Structure 1
Amino acid sequence: MSLGVGVVMVQLMAAPVSAQPAAPAVPMAAVSAAPADPWQAFNRRMYVVNERLDDSIFAPITHAYMSAAPPPLRKAFGAAIDNMREPRTTMNDLLQAHPGLAAQSTGRFLINSTLGVFGLFDVASASGLPVHRADFGQTLGRYGVGPGNYVFAPVLGPLDLRDGLGRLVDAVTDPLSLVAGGWTTPFGASRLAASALDYRADADAQIKALGQDATDPYATVRSAYGQRRAYLVGQARGDEPDLPDFDPPPEAPLTVSPDPTPAHLLSLESASMRGPTPIADVK
């Protein structure tokens, strides 16, 4: 499954750095409904198209890259790509009225762009500024815009109407693209291709597991996507939804801080990004 094919694209703090109060830890319990899917017949056909494109084009390219590049090199490569997303995160943190998180993402970008050698090394996390992500779809949700219908598009993969609009806005207003150039420039085109390759490589294990283990991969992806987006919007609002815990119950109650996306949802949605993906990275 794929967040992107065809046109390659990508697209998730420590102690607060402002007066913004920290939210309480959130238990992993249940979120319910999958996104509204009235266009399911079309979406399932597009899902199959994405699978075939991935099997014939993107998976072979990704596997060649993974064979040629050792894990430390791939990690540094991915860190540099992630670092280029920080200005967009800062912009959305400000739009969501989260100045502490905006200061944190700004600090991450400055530290990793300098001490981290253009983002190749995540010095900021080691310094107490862990990564978080914010996007315009999340911003819209923070102010009450509903998700709308679910869509699985050949180029974009899983999204809902709100987040489709959010990705478009993120692509057009991405601060780094405005300064260094969008996808029509050499920098933008290189960034787009590199982001897609890195994203597909990161999702490779989840894609394989999903194909082997899921009875209905399409429904699994749709559910994971909807739960993850609901979780992220809940973070922005400060009223995060509970999430299902797919692992055996731990001895002590399991909680997560408000910033990280729960790993089981991130893994499932990563698998949904079969094929390259990050449209919001460049204009």
Structure 2
Amino acid sequence: MKPRITMNRTGLWAGLLALALLQGCAVGPNPRDPFEPFNRSVTRFNDGLDEAIVKPVAQAYQDTVPSPVRTGVNNFFGNLSDAWSFVNNVLQAKPQAAVDSFMRVSVNTLIGLGGVLDWATPMGIERHREDFGKTLGRWGVATGPYLVLPVLGPSTVRDAAARVVDAKGDLVLQIDNVPVRNSLYVLRAVDLRASLLRAGEVLDQAALDKYSFTRDAYLQRRGVVIDTNGDTEERYDLPESPSPAPAK
């Protein structure tokens, strides 16, 4: 048995874009986006920052770092996120998901070189991505309006508030050595952006409103539909937004 090479599902973004185009993605006012003028302004700022700095760095990372190394980096940070997913699965009273998350961290940390190799996936141990925003949704807290955060990107009022707790559960941000902490944080952000390069190119070339598509995809992914039991309905397994920037 070989450890599975796991990367973020960038191909799914391309599929969603194609589906939106085939369905004639209509653009119009969204009642879940009352802050749209502000959000569009922040989006323009974020896009400018991305084009000037983040995207070129991510492209250079993809072009120069060998694929096996990038895969190991992606697996390593995925293993760290599984630890926080375990905590949130416990808080959401999801015993099987909690056991799976605990087992993933244990297996990949012990025999996967600290998470660089993903042995858990080929062993059939499922990944359950969770964060405190989803936990609040499980507890019945509404998502609130759509909100675009400077640098961090798409969010909602609920998820933005939850980021404070998520930061406490982010193992990278708990490292005392500031240079190491900041280096790992930047590496994680670059790895995430590199995984979205191909999907971003498709989105940029598509004949649709990029802002509206990103907003609608985010709201759907984050489980806008909450059933009577307080369960969030996760439609897509897409990469999460990064945690708040580390202190310098």
After superposing the two structures, state which structure 1 stretch, 98-107 or 186-195, moved more: 186-195
Superposed CA offset, 1:223-246 (max 9, x none): 000000017966x945737x6xxx
Match of 2:162 among 159, 163, 166: 166
Q: Aligned partners of 1:200, 1:151: CA distance in 2, in Å? A: 20
Q: Give TM-score scaled by structure 1 length.
A: 0.70
- 1:47 and 1:82, CA in 2 relative to 1: closer, same or farther beyond 3 A? same
1:144 counterpart SS class: coil
- Asked if 2 retains the 8 angstrom alpha-carbon contact of 1:170 and 1:281, the reply is no
- Asked if 1 retains the 8 angstrom alpha-carbon contact of 2:88 and 2:135, the reply is yes
* Equivalenced residues, count: 220
Tell me the equivalent position of 2:110. 114
- Asked if 2 retains the 8 angstrom alpha-carbon contact of 1:108 and 1:124, the reply is yes
User: Is 1:279 matched with 2:216?
Assistant: no
Q: Displacement of 1:114 after TM fit?
A: 1.5
Tell me the equivalent position of 1:91. 87
- 1:280 and 1:135, CA in 2 relative to 1: closer, same or farther beyond 3 A? farther
- 1:136 and 1:192, CA in 2 relative to 1: closer, same or farther beyond 3 A? same
Match of 2:100 among 67, 84, 104: 104
Tell me the equivalent position of 1:67. 63
Superposed CA offset, 1:101-132 (max 9, x none): 11111110111012111111110011110222
Q: What amino acid is the match of 1:190?
A: S
Q: What amino acid is the match of 1:46?
A: V
- 1:239 and 1:135, CA in 2 relative to 1: closer, same or farther beyond 3 A? closer
Q: Displacement of 1:170 after TM fit?
A: 0.8
Tell me the equivalent position of 1:27. none
- Asked if 1 retains the 8 angstrom alpha-carbon contact of 2:134 and 2:232, the reply is no
- Please show how residues 1-283 of structure 1 align to structure 2 within 5 Å: 36-174=32-170, 176-177=171-172, 181=175, 185-230=178-223, 237-238=230-231, 240=233, 261=236, 266=238, 278-279=242-243
- Provide runs of 4+ in structure 1 moved above 6 Å: 231-234
Superposed CA offset, 1:127-156 (max 9, x none): 110222110000000111111111112222
- Asked if 2 retains the 8 angstrom alpha-carbon contact of 1:85 and 1:281, the reply is no
- 1:218 and 1:71, CA in 2 relative to 1: closer, same or farther beyond 3 A? same
Q: Aligned partners of 1:187, 1:48: CA distance in 2, in Å? A: 31
- Asked if 2 retains the 8 angstrom alpha-carbon contact of 1:90 and 1:103, the reply is yes
- Asked if 1 retains the 8 angstrom alpha-carbon contact of 2:145 and 2:157, the reply is yes
Aligned-residue Cα RMSD (Å) equals: 2.8
Q: Displacement of 1:194 after TM fit?
A: 1.4
Q: Aligned partners of 1:215, 1:282: CA distance in 2, in Å? A: 35
- Asked if 2 retains the 8 angstrom alpha-carbon contact of 1:104 and 1:129, the reply is yes
Q: Aligned partners of 1:44, 1:238: CA distance in 2, in Å? A: 30
Higher RCO, 1 vs 2 (CA within 8 Å, ≥6 residues apart): 1
- For structure 1, the residue ranges without an aligned partner over 5 or more in a row are 1-10, 13-32, 244-260
Superposed CA offset, 1:69-126 (max 9, x none): 1222211111011111111101100100012211111110111012111111110011
1:148 counterpart SS class: coil
- For structure 2, the residue ranges without an aligned partner over 5 or more in a row are 1-7, 10-28
- 1:95 and 1:34, CA in 2 relative to 1: closer, same or farther beyond 3 A? farther
Percent sequence identity over aligned pairs = 35
Q: Give TM-score scaled by structure 2 length.
A: 0.79
- Asked if 2 retains the 8 angstrom alpha-carbon contact of 1:172 and 1:282, the reply is no
1:128 counterpart SS class: coil
- Asked if 2 retains the 8 angstrom alpha-carbon contact of 1:191 and 1:282, the reply is no
